[in-house]
Chains A and B, each alone.
Chain A
Amino acid sequence: MRFLANLVLWGLVGVAVLVAFLAILNGKLVTRAWVSRFASRQALAVNPVNGVPVVRALAVINRWRRFGLASGFVLAALWSLQEGRLDFNFTAMFLGWFVGSLVAEWRINPAASGTRRRADLNRRTLASYVTAGNRILLGATLLALAGFGAWAGVVALGDAGVSRDWLGWALTSALGASALWAVTRRIVNRPRPVAASDLMEADDALRGQSLTVIAGSAIALAGLPLTSFVAEIATHLAPKADASATVLIMLVALALGWHVASRSASVRAQATPA
């Protein structure tokens, strides 16, 4: 009897998780307000010619981000269910959203088509799409991650050997940095056939927006391993000290990441005379 009650209860929880998953996935993929925000941040004049590819690309990006968010939610919920409780893990959801953002960039593929193909002779680099300030912030975060990671590793080796925590975060950081590098290259190098100037401007705006949002998200997510590494170092240097202050690192990373992803200026806006 008790088994049956448990089965019904977890069945209901499972249905609730599924409903939440579908709710996240459903809904409008691209709203007028979102397109307006995008256009204003990227100083892009959206018109009937470039509006179609812009909306199409934004829809692909949003679909994958939502799918990642929903997957993060479901996986975390299922993980917690097996331990007899139901958690809403925001970190897992954010991580899922981030992975979805990366996958989306692979789905946008304006491959060269037709027999007559044109290309311009400008080199495209990260600097073409992400402002110097944001690039410095991202570089400093990755440098801090590598530095504190190495320091924490040396500290852990000097003690009782590397901890599982350190190893886990070090591997995750390396994997995340590699994924970031690969996606950045993908966005910068994906085909950009020469077309009407408003289409090319829209293409630049989409690349700039994607790279900036991904850079901001990477900064925010780097707060997790950074906090762990600094806590490990702090525990070693002052075993009696309260390591809870390291949470500040997490908060600063989140605030900086949010600013870069959603509030910082775009290269296009900086280049446009006021």
Chain B
Amino acid sequence: MNLFRSEEHIARWLGEREPGATISAAKLSELAHAWWHDRISPDWVPHTREQNQAILERLGLTGEFWQLA
């Protein structure tokens, strides 16, 4: 899970490998904040798979690639 300069750099890095999913840095930040914001809170309890899936869906990260199960 890396940051890249551009689509061209991703394609070159992948070579013959099957591509995964690419999102913008802005979407990544939205995702990271939704996913991790409570991680060191004293009230933290484990997210259920359904809660995590809902985070992905709320951000438009849908489709087979983003299915947690």
Partners in one complex: no
